[in-house]
Amino acid sequence: MKITERAKIIAHRNNNEPGFVQAVLDQSTEVLLESPFLLVRIRNGSICVNAGIDHSNVEGSNNIVLLPEDPDKAPWN
């Protein structure tokens, strides 16, 4: 993953990892708010913080969990 200058700037402003911010940007179609957190519109049209990406509840400091491609068809629904 190539980390953009925009991701680096947002990460610095929000005290976050640039790779995580880049993942959020990659999963988003529109950024609605950059600070104090990322509020974005994702591909299915939903608006959520950090594109629904979780990095706090996974093992390893560089691992993330993305939302399913179609959250409405996820097995828990």
Element (H, E) at 13: helix 5-14
Question: Where are the chain's structural domains?
Answer: 1-53
At residue 61, the pLDDT reads 67
Superfamily of domain 1-53: CofE-like domain (3.90.1660.10)
At residue 48, the pLDDT reads 93
Q: Is the peptide bond before 75 cis (omega within 30 degrees of 0)?
A: no
Rounded-to-integer distance, Cα 30 and Cα 48, Å? 11
Low-confidence ranges of the chain (pLDDT < 50): none
Rounded-to-integer distance, Cα 28 and Cα 4, Å? 14
| pLDDT more than 90, % of the chain | 61
Nearest to 64, CA basis, from 23, 25, 12: 23
Rounded-to-integer distance, Cα 77 and Cα 73, Å? 7
At residue 77, the pLDDT reads 55
At residue 17, the pLDDT reads 92
